[in-house]
Each structure stands twice: as C-alpha cells, then as structure tokens.
Amino acid sequence: MKHPQVIHLPIDAGDLLADQYLVFDGDNVLRDSDQKRIGIEGIETSSIPVNIAFFDVTSGAITNATDLEIAYDTNIDMWKIQIDDDIKAALTENHKFVGRVTEAVGSSVGMRPFKLNEFVVERPSLEETWMMLPYQVEIGSPSMIVWYKDIYWNKPMYYAHVYEGGVGTTYASSPEKVTHRGPVVFVGND
C-alpha cells in the first residue's frame, strides 16, 4: 500500500496530535453466526472485550494487545478502542502494521473476528504539537515563551526561556528583542 493510514502515538502526556482511539465502521463489527451488524441492529450497544494481534509488516513480528474493550457510539454507528499502554507497547514507530481484532475468551456476544488494514505508526514532532497551542512571550526574570493548553491562558503546558543578544545569557527585555529561545520544557497538562 502506497499511502497507509497513519496512527499518531503521543510524544508526551500533553501531545494534542496523538490519536486516542482506533475507530471502526459499524459494518465491520458483525455477529459471526448470522453476519448481523452488532451495533446498529441492537445486538450489543455497550462494549465488547477484545484482543488485537498486530503483525509488524516491517519486522515480521507479531505482538498482542489484550484486555481491551471495543465501545459502540450509537450516534454515528462507529466502534472505538482506546489506544492504551498495551497498544502503544505493541506498536513500533515508523513501522507498517496489519492486525486482527478478536472477541476475548469468555465474552458471549459472538463477534466475528475482523482485520485491521495496513497502517503506519508515527510520532509527531514536538514542534508540530506545541506550534498548535496558544502562546505568549512573558518578560521577566526569567523571560520565556509559554504555550498554553487553551485560550484562557491558565494552563501552561510548555515553556522555553527567551534571550536577546545572540549569546543565551541575557533574558529578553521585550518581545521585540527575542533573538532565540532555550529548550522547550513540558510542564504538564493538568
């Protein structure tokens, strides 16, 4: 496949570009016995325990993510699985994958296993993440650029000291005098 789907894994807890879910059309989640669509036909509309076997097309390895739940959204006839630590651990950056979703042992819905089409895993760069955030230059001791989680300026997520004079020892005395910044530091996303 020339252009596979892309799954963005987080670079840190504040990564706004990261995918939170694997999402599937309701037409893919069927009851095995009669091929009825489980969600739209009301067979099960809450959640189903599932496992995913990921095949790494790049390396040839098979990795399993277990104890997952696929949850149904009745408004749009879609199912979703939250990308948790098990899924993140199973996926390798810059590798292509295919997969198979199966109902977990002990569940009684009777879901037919289905395939995940080819996708690639990547992590967006830090710059891609923090450049989407609202920010402001704050002059003081130290002077810094602060990136915020929202437009209300009350939840800083990243900061970087800003300097003037090209040496990195004198904090900027006004936004117009900023010549360069220090490293970007993750504060948090609480």
What is the full DSSP assignment across 44-88?
--SEEEEEEEEEETTT--EEEEEEEEEEEETTTTEEEEE--HHHH
pLDDT on residue 171: 94
What is the full DSSP assignment across 144-175?
EEEEESSTTS--EEEEEEEEETTSSSEE-SSG
Specify the residue for token string 């990261």.
18
What's the pTM?
0.67
Residue 39, token pair as written in the block: 């969600």
pLDDT on residue 147: 87
Span 38-63, pLDDT tens digits: 998 988 888 999 999 999 999 999 99
Span 82-110, pLDDT tens digits: 998 899 889 988 899 999 999 999 999 99
**For residues 147 and 150, what is the distance between their CA atoms, to the nearest angstrom?**
9
Residue 71, token pair as written in the block: 């949850």
Span 125-169, pLDDT tens digits: 667 677 778 889 999 989 999 988 777 777 888 899 999 988 888
Domains for the chain: give ranges and CATH numbers: 5-126 (2.60.40), 133-186 (no CATH)
Phi, psi of 168, rounded to the nearest 5 degrees: 90, 20
Q: How far is CA 165 from CA 42, 116, 171, in A?
A: 67, 53, 9
